[in-house]
Structure 1
Amino acid sequence: MDSYKKAKDILSRIDKPIINASKEKEWEDDTVHLLPNFTSEEREKFIICDDIMVLHVELIEKVKEADRPLCGIKYGESISQDILVPFTLPLHNLHYVINQAFGFTNSHLHEFTLTDSDLEWVTNKKVKNWKKLIGIIFKNPIRDEDVDFWDDDYTGGNPKKWMRSKYTGPDYNKCYEEGYRYIREEIKDLKVGTTSLNNLYYEFENNPFALNEAIELDNIFSLDESPREPISVFYSNLDDYIKDADKHDDESLLSQPWIDGFVNELEYSYDFGDSWSFLITAKLDIEYLLKDKRVTVKAVKDAIKKVCTFARPVIIAADGYPLIDDVGGLKGYIEFLKEIENGNEELNSWSSSKDWKKKIDKNAL
């Protein structure tokens, strides 16, 4: 349980940068890995631990090859961003990161979900396991709709500055009603009339598999390339974590049961009308960017220092122009870009009012 306590106590020790000496030695000569060998003087400047991962966030819908130059795509098959993030960033705050990075304005509903294969693995295709994971991995399926808007406190001013405040740490606000104990009390009398996971969609108005956004990245992503542990071990560990969490007061961060990260990918959906869907892939190195000469080692180390110093995610690579709200999804976006190229003054004025620019901006965050 020592690793559990250490990980969950990070935020209470932000004035003492955490450097893993064994990791530092292991990666000392590695110019690709995200554990650079900082000097002691550099460490003194850091206000959070240096545990950082790269998230490759890419639009799932592919852009036709003929339309890629129009969209500013040079390297992949769709619009994407590669973002350095702290391990301790919750999914709720990652939502604002993705919105800001891709040009959205938090104007629509969103959700995070597992891939089908990961959902099957973690539930072992059993409804009883899904129910056990409510409040830990999954949101409360019978929650009031207002819970999803608990952090929407924008009252005016610069919306980009407001969104930036949502993902700038090292402390992150969390919703009490997304806490484990609150949710378990809410669902104590929950009756489920099916033994089929697929049929759960018909049991609730909310998506029963939407992820609890209080989860921190290191509690959902696993960067271990070795085979996954047996599901029985996963649940045995989870039982221990639940018992340990029960020892702590409601106000403590440790009252939320720890969970061992088990996925390499997540899906993020935004605006269920325009249907923007992204695949988020976690990475611990940037070799895939270096080989295409999209970044330099120096640029990545500088970006890591920014993340550590300002407790804020940093974009290190971008492929494609920013998206825009209310454009009609990818198909509408491509038509929008064609009209912009043709000098459509009405659309130029409309996009300008949304502060949209046909320019890749790696400083968007």
Structure 2
Amino acid sequence: MDKSNKNFTPVRLHLELTDAYLSDYEKRMLNRYGETLTGGSISRDILIPSDMPLHNLHYAIQKLFGWQNAHLRKFQLPDPVFQKLTGGTVKGWSDLVGTLFQPPSEAESDLFWDEDYKSGSIHTWLRKKYTGPFIYKGTLEQPEIAKQDMKEMLNYFTMIEVKESFTDYLERKKQNPDTEMRTIRKAPLVELTLAEMRSAFTLEGDVENLLERLEVDKVIAAKTEEIQDNELFPVTDELIYQYDFGDDWTVKITKYEDCADLLHRNLIDQEELAEAEAMVLDKHKPVCIHKQGISVCDDVGGLSGFANFLGTIYESEDRLEKSEMRAWAKSLGWSAQKVSVKTLL
């Protein structure tokens, strides 16, 4: 990537909206009408400023895929990475709260500190959110406050009763309907596994949630970059972004050292790449350089629901159903009109 005299540089990310459980019909609809090659995913390749936090990347992802920022979201590590870092224990997790993971008390009121959209164009509002300079003002994510929040939680739960699993309880209940759940052991919260903690009580957030103040470029390593065991950052070569936990949209995020593969496949040329890099540096904002697949919309039932939606509006013989479905999608900001990569962000 081109360097500059600024304190940030362009960084290339590949974002892939996936669903491992798509049916053959759904893949066919995405391939036929969703402008995807395989029907298995919708993807975007972008350049971002290297100082962009996860928080601001969220807003860019919303714009890139056509959502309206209407639901909850989270950034997480792949489970094998999370398990390796924490050992699956409360202590392993708590030691990284404030450094990598969100504190237990972080909730909507703090995470959504800049959710100030009231009216007008949602696209204009989103654009302001993913354009620098980037300043994170969420209180609980400040390291000292996050660690204090974690400490208070550990001090509060000085002794926890660890119950048997619900599955074991149901098995015993078949034999004896009057049986009660067994207590396996008692221990301080810090000595429990995360599974034991989850069985004891429910947190408002999720222990896997990453701090959104963290810079994307520091968290994630390029595919060709080695991750050092003696260093915390970069921590992974893949990030997972989830949006709308009911529809369960999942975007896998990877980083590349350059755009050689896009150039080699003739998906972008040197002049276009230079123009995109200049835009990142001059405007302090991300730029889309390649896309595969059309925009989706909210409340459609995830990627599989969107595939079925395409099947309905293009292949249904029921004209009223097709018309009503299109009108509903339009009310959510969806359009079948093609959008160029230059205007996507």
What is the TM-score when the length of structure 2 is the normalising length? Answer: 0.79
Q: CA deviation at 1:333?
A: 0.6
- Gap change, CA 1:261 and 1:125, over 3 Å in 2: same
* Contact 2:89–2:191 (8 Å) recurs in 1: no
- 1:106 corresponds to: 69
Q: CA deviation at 1:301?
A: 1.1
Q: CA deviation at 1:360?
A: 4.3
Q: Does 1:115 align with 2:88?
A: no
* Contact 1:320–1:360 (8 Å) recurs in 2: no
Runs of 5+ unmatched residues, structure 2: 155-188
Amino acid at match of 1:78: S
Between 264-273 and 67-76, the greater mean CA deviation after superposition? 67-76
Q: Does 1:57 align with 2:56?
A: no
Q: CA deviation at 1:159?
A: 0.8
- 1:35 corresponds to: 2
Runs of 5+ unmatched residues, structure 1: 1-33, 37-42, 235-258
Q: Percent identity?
A: 32
Distance 2:7 2:122 in 1: 29
Match of 1:171 among 117, 127, 134: 134
User: Superposed, which structure 2 residues align to 1:240-319 within 5 Å?
Assistant: 260-319=233-292
- 1:340 corresponds to: 313
Q: CA deviation at 1:282?
A: 1.1
* Contact 1:109–1:271 (8 Å) recurs in 2: yes
* Contact 2:46–2:290 (8 Å) recurs in 1: yes
- 1:220 corresponds to: 219
Q: CA deviation at 1:61?
A: 0.9
- 2:167 corresponds to: none
Match of 2:193 among 196, 207, 219: 196
Q: Does 1:141 align with 2:104?
A: yes
Distance 2:147 2:8 in 1: 34
* Contact 2:53–2:134 (8 Å) recurs in 1: no
Distance 1:350 1:227 in 2: 47
Q: CA deviation at 1:278?
A: 1.0
Distance 1:227 1:355 in 2: 41
Amino acid at match of 1:81: R
- Gap change, CA 1:117 and 1:360, over 3 Å in 2: farther
- 1:240 corresponds to: none
Distance 2:340 2:273 in 1: 16
Q: How big is each residue's C-alpha offset from its partner over 1:65-116, in whole Å with a ceiling of 9 and x where there is no partner?
A: 4232221102673111111111110101111010010000100000000001
Distance 2:217 2:16 in 1: 20
Q: CA deviation at 1:310?
A: 0.3
- Gap change, CA 1:180 and 1:327, over 3 Å in 2: same
Distance 2:45 2:39 in 1: 12
Amino acid at match of 2:12: V
Distance 1:55 1:178 in 2: 24
Q: CA deviation at 1:59?
A: 1.4
Q: Secondary structure at the match of 1:95?
A: helix
Q: CA deviation at 1:121?
A: 2.8
Length, aligned pairs only: 297
Amino acid at match of 1:337: L
Match of 1:349 among 319, 327, 340: 327
* Contact 1:200–1:208 (8 Å) recurs in 2: no
Q: Does 1:161 align with 2:124?
A: yes
Higher CA-based Rg: 2
* Aligned Cα root-mean-square deviation (Å): 2.2
Distance 1:128 1:52 in 2: 37
Distance 2:133 2:106 in 1: 28
Match of 1:72 among 17, 23, 35: 35
User: Superposed, which structure 2 residues align to 1:318-333 within 5 Å?
Assistant: 318-333=291-306
Q: Secondary structure at the match of 1:280?
A: strand
Distance 2:254 2:67 in 1: 20
What is the TM-score when the length of structure 1 is the normalising length? Answer: 0.75
* Contact 1:110–1:268 (8 Å) recurs in 2: yes
Q: How big is each residue's C-alpha offset from its partner over 1:154-187, in whole Å with a ceiling of 9 and x where there is no partner?
A: 1111111111110100233431221111112222
Q: CA deviation at 1:223?
A: 3.0
Distance 2:70 2:286 in 1: 21
Q: Secondary structure at the match of 2:222?
A: coil
Distance 2:216 2:94 in 1: 22
- Gap change, CA 1:354 and 1:84, over 3 Å in 2: same
* Contact 1:73–1:319 (8 Å) recurs in 2: yes
* Contact 1:49–1:308 (8 Å) recurs in 2: no
Distance 1:226 1:72 in 2: 32
Between 178-187 and 157-166, the greater mean CA deviation after superposition? 178-187
* Contact 1:269–1:276 (8 Å) recurs in 2: yes
- 1:254 corresponds to: none
Q: Secondary structure at the match of 2:153?
A: coil
Q: Secondary structure at the match of 2:134?
A: coil
Amino acid at match of 1:66: R
